[in-house]
Structure 1
């Protein structure tokens, strides 16, 4: 046996009018939207018909008069009282793409502020004026209006509930009409004051490009509170989209998505649309009008579909083309932009070769030879290296540069992924990641006689650092101010992490990780002592090998700290032991003195 659903009309009205929308203020947008659709429908048959919406508000009572197509009594029943029936709207022509929304459904938003709504309407196709009265409990009635309208159109009237009185004042209605409907191609007035301004600012004609740019910059400042660094025109024919992107004049947080201002058929959809531009374009704020993009049910956001994805990609392409053109025509402007928004360009360079070329040619990096572009660095250091850690760069930059090995700091966001991609735009790019252990081969050997004299010291130093898994070597290198350098290969780092995980894991995982550890053959980390350093020369000449071993532990701990290497418990113990040992020696030496 088939049965029909029992529908609680009051619950449906409450759901649509109170829970579909984020704020009561959208009811003005919905009333304007219905009025604009009705005018569009009438002018399709009669292009010379008037296009005006007159809003009157006083003492908590609101009336919205339009010169639209109006409704017959049958259409009133279909459009205003049949919730969710799209087929009838299609038959009447109200679902065509020329219209802003689904005619009539937005009327329910009036129940956000009122318990009763009346609609007085006269159809342009003929017939008497009809009065529809709907109530928030789901009841409605349709009757002859009694008083005929002078011309076709519709008047929507409502009186605010006491708890919603703030939404039905002249000031609030005027502000909301200006916010949502300022760009509508019709005349809208609130108590005689016009709230529409005409065509979108980016479509306004100007005497010159410079004047237009200044005009749009002022528009951007009014909307967003900042004077844009630049203005980029946007155009996507498939979406019927036109508009502009305003470039932020200050650095933007890439983790925070910027809200874009989106109009649909010149009615404001939202001030904070998400996902209109690609994620990497966080340096821009868009203001666009689109005819074909779909809104969500509440018409407060864009519906995610293939057209929106195509639009997003096309807008990203246009922003990228603007950057390329900026590099060709305004190098100073590009440098100013990159100084603020390099992260966005880097993010794009991860998968776009054109942007990778721009990064290579224009973006300055920190190197062992000072700040310069990657192209400049590669021309000076054909066999240069890069690090993927800022701490590693700071530890090794001076040493690497002194030995003639160019080093790039690739430790910031996206750099570690960008640098290996340079071969895509230059097959001869030989910029490889530095393995710190290979730097030892570039450090000059100590004087043979000096190394021979230091052999007892090196033996004692090796014995004290052997339990810590570290070897000791003596070299002669610049800068002389650096006494010791801790160098470990990436394989050795992995080995150390594996060993630490084995020590912390349970018995099963300890056995598994122990078996893996035994299969790895890696070089041990090295503590490289700089014989060019005066302190190291004095330490290597100490006759007391016990004191020399304590000094080596101190140099070892200092090298770990200088390189920002993690300290294991054994490392911390060695550092503490050396500090206390040297302090004890100093106190005893002072007493004996």
Structure 2
């Protein structure tokens, strides 16, 4: 039979991939972790899992577990000691010194106490070499309590394991820190770092010879055996807990996060005591997975409208990335995200019902942000529709205080405009529609109440303000000649009757003109400019503004009568009225009518000329 080789048979030779441990250490040190101090968290995590393992595998061990972290700043040494399961010599070789293999992950895969174990990737111990120039581990396993073993390595690639006298069951890891990290041997730094990462671990962690652990009390959502708190005590405890995590603000009130269908996330959310604008984003959320801090800036788990909310949650189902500093965006992530939004909406409603003083503070600090939040969920709208206040020409007011003359009025322009001046004369409040979320909120509010909303500055708004009137063509031509400055002149009936003329800008035409100005190319991105011009291309070229003549005004009636009777003073009176038009238009908003300082000066001069003509006329 003819010999056949792999190559002749067309087969591909299978080879085992190698691992460049030195390159892997570079990845760990410079790229995997956002900060090298995460290595301290990983080593405390190993100590924690060793305690959990001992309880699982040695049921008769009922002593309280203990983790100690000692710093020797003079020598640049950190020691991490636990009373956990310890390691046999074989386990040192199989798990401690093998990259990517972890005893904890093996326990989890067998279904052993999945909720108590933290480790997943078998990289935790390797991270020690990010901080240390040499790592020494001394251990005695509960399985071989008369034997001790000492592991020593300076680079994780080569190591020694030698026998040593048995120590107390458990493990001690000694880090001889690189020069750049020797400050971490100061116990004040250790308290700060581990107090943040390990705040929710169930096993007590002591720094140096401290009498109290850095994680002394369970968080508010974990029940205390036999302890039932009064609701006021529970609220106070929750706010005190929140204050430990809120970095920039004082918490006003806190709302619980409870496990929900599809989400095991539990914790606490709170409202920050710091005034916000509608677009402010001060969200901060710390996420603990199996009791260890994974991400202290997981703001994307909170609703986008919740820019005034902080929080702490813990979960056993959220999946960390390999660096254990971020979370995978999987189904568990989305379920927790939804549950947090639900908890926040329900919690705010509960605060409104049960904590009126806190609710008033929430409304005062975050009125504008809540105005936008009300548009994101019907339940929020129902909760807030009678509470939030809107900016108006008469100060901040609730929507229920705005209706006048059978409608709510909102001005869309940012400069006040003639409408605000007009309604101020009538004593009618006008909401400022250019402010954050005002127009959509009022549209929704008016619809819910079955009321009419007049959006001033639009065609619909102008029709509501000005009732069309009629004049002979000859009268319109004369008024256009003596009162007009290029506007479209329209006879109308409007209030107050004391106001003879009003110049109304055509804001759609103005938008077209501004966007087609070449200077806008310097200020607006080309993509946004193209989209805007697609809209304005449909706007026909027309007068920039309209001049409404109030046919109910006595002065206008007298002017028309004088013109029709041939009174020689009609032109002088028209000059006065035209000057008034310019001044009123400038007061409403100068650019609406194109009136600058030259137009105003000319108007004042025309007043003087008209008065002189009228005074010099024969009697």
TM over 0.5: yes
Cα distance 1:521–1:93, how it changes in 2: closer, same or farther (>3 A)?
A: closer
SS in 2 for 1:210: helix
Report what 1:458 is aligned to: 479
CA distance in 2, matches of 1:548, 1:120: 105
- TM-score for the superposition, normalised by structure 2: 0.77
Question: Cα–Cα, structure 1 residues 72 and 92, in superposed 2: closer, same or farther, change >3 Å?
Answer: farther
- On the 8 A contact 1:342/1:363 being kept in 2, the answer is yes
CA distance in 2, matches of 1:227, 1:263: 22
Instruction: Return the match for 2:276 from 252, 257, 270.
Output: 252
Change (3 A) 1:535 1:126: farther
CA distance in 1, matches of 2:179, 2:58: 42
Alignment deviations for residues 219-238 of structure 1 (CA, whole Å, 9 cap, x no partner):
33344364422221111255
CA shift, 1:402, in A, is 6.2
Q: Tell me the alpha carbon deviations over residues 553-585 of structure 1, each in whole angstroms, 9 at most, x when there is no partner.
A: 7555545544447469xx368x62562575599
In 2, Cα distance between the equivalents of 1:240 and 1:39?
Answer: 24
Task: Note the alpha carbon deviations across 1:512-564, whole angstroms, 9 max, x for none.
Answer: x99x9799597873223568999989999896888778767755554554444
Matched, 1:77 2:93: yes
Gaps of 5+ in 2: 1-12, 520-528
Deviations 1:90-141 (A, max 9, x none): 44547945312237512222223211112223333338433332323x4222
Q: Cα distance 1:461–1:306, how it changes in 2: closer, same or farther (>3 A)?
A: farther
Matched, 1:353 2:374: no
Size of the alignment, in residue pairs? 567
Tell me: CA distance 1:168–1:585, structure 2 relative to 1, closer, same or farther (3 Å).
same
1:484–1:556 contact (8 Å) kept in structure 2? yes
Measure the CA separation in 1 of the matches of 2:331 and 2:509: 48
Query: Residue in 2 aligned with 1:389?
Result: 413
- CA deviation after TM superposition for structure 1 residue 33, in Å: 0.6
Q: Structure 2 vs 1, CA of residues 422 and 126 (structure 1 numbering), >3 Å: closer, same or farther?
A: same
The answer to whether 1:114 aligns with 2:136 is no
Asked whether the equivalents of residues 470 and 492 of structure 2 are also in contact (C-alpha less than 8 Å), the reply is no
For residue 297 of structure 2, give the secondary structure of its aligned residue in structure 1: strand
Does the 8 Å CA contact 1:551/1:578 hold for their aligned counterparts?
Answer: no
Structure ranking higher in helix proportion: 1
1:186 matched to 2:208? The reply is: no
Cα deviations by residue, 1:170-212 (Å, 9 ceiling, x for unpaired): 3322333333324322232222214230312444545422123
Aligned residues of 2:393 and 2:431 also touching (Cα < 8 A): yes
**Structure 1: where are the runs of 5+ without partners?**
none
1:477-488 matches, within 5 Å, as 477-478=495-496, 480=498, 484-488=501-505
Deviates more, 1:92-101 or 1:545-554: 545-554
2-structure distance, mates of 1:154, 1:226 = 40
- Are residues 1:219 and 2:241 paired? yes
Structure 1 residues 148-227: aligned runs within 5 Å: 148-151=166-169, 153-193=170-210, 194-195=212-213, 196-203=215-222, 205=227, 207-224=229-246, 226-227=249-250
SS at match of 2:311: strand
Paired with 1:556 and 1:232, the residues of 2 have a C-alpha distance of 57
- Corresponding residue for residue 311 of structure 2: 286
For 1:442 and 1:558, the matched residues in 2 are separated by 21
Distance 1:265 1:72 in 2: 26
Cα distance in 1 between the residues matched to 2:552 and 2:414? 26
Equivalent residue for 2:81?
65
Report SS of the residue matched to 2:86: coil
- Give TM-score scaled by structure 1 length: 0.80
Residue 126 of structure 1: aligned partner: 144
Measure how far apart 1:156 and its partner are. Answer: 0.9
SS at match of 1:229: strand
Partner Cα separation in structure 2 for residue 454 and residue 370 of structure 1: 42
Q: For 2:236 and 2:322, how far apart are their aligned partners in 1?
A: 37
Q: Which residue of 2 aligns with 1:228?
A: 251
Does 2:287 match 1:262? yes
- The Cα shift of 1:38 comes to 1.0
> Contact 2:242–2:251 at 8 Å: present in 1 too?
yes
Which of 17, 33, 38 aligns to 1:26? It is: 38
Instruction: Say whether residues 1:312 and 2:337 are aligned partners.
Output: yes
Q: CA deviation at 1:355?
A: 1.8
The answer to whether the Cα contact below 8 Å between 1:243 and 1:287 also exists between their aligned partners in 2 is yes
Are 1:16 and 2:36 an aligned pair? no
